[in-house]
Structures are given as C-alpha cells and as structure tokens.
Amino acid sequence: MNFDLIVIGSGPGGYVAAIRASQLGMKVAVVERESLGGICLNWGCIPTKALLKSAQVFEYIQHASDYGIQVSGAQADFGAMVKRSRGVADGMSKGINFLFKKNKITVINGNGRLVRGKKVEVTAAAGAKTEYSAEHIIVATGGRAKELPNLKIDGKKIIDYRKAMTLEQQPKSLVVVGAGAIGVEFAYFYHSIGTKVTIVEFLEQGLLPREDPDVSKELAKIYQKAGIEVLANTSVETVDTKGAGCKVTVKSRKDGSVKQIDCDVVLSAAGVTPNTESIGLEELGVKTDRGFVLVDDYYRTNVPGIYAIGDIIPTQALAHVASAEGITCVEKIAGHTPDPIDYNNIPSCTYCSPEVASVGLTEQAAKDAGYTLKVGKFPFSASGKASAAGAKQGFVKVIFDAKYGEFLGAHFIGANVTEMIAEVVVARKLETTGHEIIKAIHPHPTMSEAVMEAAAAAYDEVIHL
C-alpha cells in the first residue's frame, strides 16, 4: 500500500512518468479508471490515425488510375474501418500493460482522489474504497472535449471525438464545430468516405487558426476544392435536434448574415477542458486557474509532494508534451538536474491530408517580437519526389533572424510533413543557423529536400525555383 510514487492517470504523461520513475529505482503505482494508455492511445492520437490511414488508402484506390493502375468497385466499409481502429487502440493498450509488468509497476483500477497525508483514495467500480500512500503523487488525469453553452453534447446527434470514432453508422452529412486539429482531421476522414462535411470556425483565420496564416489559407483552398464547406469567422447560434437530424443556425461575424445547415450529426471539436474536478485538489489547497493546475518548471504544485503534468496544466495539450513533462518531473524527483522544457520548441502536427506540421514562431509572431526576418518558401510542386509520389500539394516555409541566422520557425503543409518537422526541432535545439541548413546535404530525391531549398530561398540561393 506504500509507494515512492503514485501516478493518477495512465495517458502518455502518466504512463511515461511511471516507467521513467521505475527505471530510476522508484516503487511505482498507477491509478487508472478506464483503459491503460488514457485518451491518447484509446480515444485520441492512435485510433484516429488508424481511421485517417483507412481514409487515405481509400483515396489512393480512388485515384489508382493516376498511377497507371485500374481498380473498380472499391467501397468504404465504415464499420470495418471503425473495427480496425478499435483493434489498433486495444493492441496499444495491451502494450502499455506489458511495459508496466516489465518495469514492475503496480496497476490500481478505479477512480483516484487526493487525500491529506500524501495519500490517494481509490474507488473501485464496485464502490469499495482503498487508500494508498506515497512520498510523491503525480496527477495526470488529462482532458476531455469542451462543451460550448449552446452546443450540449448528447452523444447521439451532438457528439464529441470519442463518439465520432465509434458511430454505429456513417452519417450522410456532418457539421464540425471547431477547425483545430481534431476538427480538420475528422472533417477529412468523413469527407473522404463520402459524408457531406461543413466546418464552422469562430475565428477569422479559419482552418487551424493557431498555425501560420499561409498554411491555413492553403489548407482551406485544398479543402474547399475537395468539396468541404468552410465557414470561417462564424458562430453557431443554435442547434435544433428535435427532428430526424439537426438544424444548425450559424451567423457570420463579418456581416451578421444568418443561415441554416441541415445535417445528420454535429461534431463538437471546440477544444479540450482539464479533468480536475472531484480529484481532491481543492481540499488539499492545490492552486488552480480556470481549472488548470498551477505548477513550477518541474511540475511541483504549491502543495509539497503533489505534482501535475499534461492536459491539466496550462501548457500545450499534446501527447508528446505530456510525456516530456512526465520525464522531467520524475527525473527532478529522483535528484537529477533536467533542463526545464522549452515550450517554444514544441512541434505541432495535424494528420489531415495534406498533413500540417510546425514549430517555433509564425512569421507575424516573429515580426511582433521585433526580429528582422529572412523568410523562404519552397512548394512541393517543385519537388521531384513529390511529383513522383503524386503529392504536389503544399509547401515548406522557414523563418530566420536576418541578423544572426537563428532558426525562428518552420511551417509545413504536404504529404508526410509530420515526419519531417523533427529536423527543425533538432536544428533549433542545437541552435543551427540558416546557412548550416543550406550546407547540410539532404538526400535526393526526398520530400525533406524542401527544408534545405526553403532555407536557400530565404537567402536568395535556391536552385530549383
């Protein structure tokens, strides 16, 4: 019943923290109320990528003639796609169980709640309560879909991302509210298999409003050409679910015009909110702000021995961020001296088609910060590998400080760019300059050559434009 460390939550923050702590010699327990792996492995990152891959394969088949291959009669089997996605998620969850056994981590099933005296009270499914104690307790309870005041999720006609992955049948029409990563990924998936999709975004920039505007405009152009309706700078006023489907009333924030959209289902993708209720934070006096737990650079709360990581703290709600926070937290607990995480060098990836990836400052943010810039852009239409692959959409955009050559940011849109962004993350970590990127020989033909070419374009040295 006594541990060196108890972690509440087994998502990518919690399970990574637990394994690293075990590697460092701690006796560790993890409290989990559902399946090991948390939202990411079971309802987020992994199963959505399985669905998106199914959609991508279906698109390949539909365009097989572009590659000199004749295919006829191909159909999207929605039920089979969902089943495959759930199978992938289940396999990953079992993998976490294997890792826990390998690292001698105790799994405690139930709802965890902080109690005084450095203890965690766990309520099992049957209602029995058991207390466990630990010198250190990490809260990693993650987040859930945010509900808007006029968009109450009922799980039937107004759904969240979890239900979007397990619908009993494919909707003929879908309205997606919110154009962040979750919204545009599900919009791509459902549109690719034949659902009529409309995206409604409150902010003026439209798709992926936190990305560089050049990327947002490019993705919007591609989506609209494909037949996805994008309504930017638009608010959802009401959703009437009384009939067979939904009647969504939206209002333009630009001119005040109102229109009604009829659809089968509405997907609420307006962000996430932290799971910080009912876990004992208030009783222990742990400081929060709008539901987010306040921590220092090493994830210590104001209460000694209590830590918080992942989506419940006000950092980027990304799986790889939570994992990095977990490792940094337990290494500090173990007496090591890890560097605090540089949140200005966190890669962001969106797995729609084409993919989007970025790191660092946007062009406007760099200007606002007072930098004089060198900006280079290289379109994949000029890439030999992209042409051969039939993936000419998109570009690589890079931003350097003109004075010292500092790599300030990069913004990609195109095929497989989520696999390319790590080059820039490492380059920025190593304080690589623009000229060093240009002189680093990239293999030909590859999509990654576009990074070198974009850097060269920033310095007026580009060859293939």
Annotated catalytic residues are: 444
Distance CA 293, CA 409 (A): 29
Distance CA 451, CA 395 (A): 9
Distance of CA 263 to the CA centre of its chain: 26
* Contacting residues for 196 by C-beta, under 8 A, at least 6 apart: 172, 173, 174, 227, 263
Residue with tokens 């947002």: 216
159-196 burial, b at 16+ Cβ within 10 Å, e below that, comes to bbbbbbbebeebbebbbbbbbbbbbbbbbbbbbbbebb
Q: Would you state the torsion angle of the CA atoms of residues 9, 345, 429, 25, taken in this order, to the nearest 10 degrees? A: -10
Beta strands in 187-327 (DSSP E): 196-200, 229-231, 234-240, 246-252, 258-263, 265-268, 272-274, 288-289, 292-293, 306-308
Distance of CA 295 to the CA centre of its chain: 22
Q: Is the omega angle on the peptide bond into residue 47 within 30 degrees of 0, that is, cis?
A: no
Residue with tokens 């965890």: 112
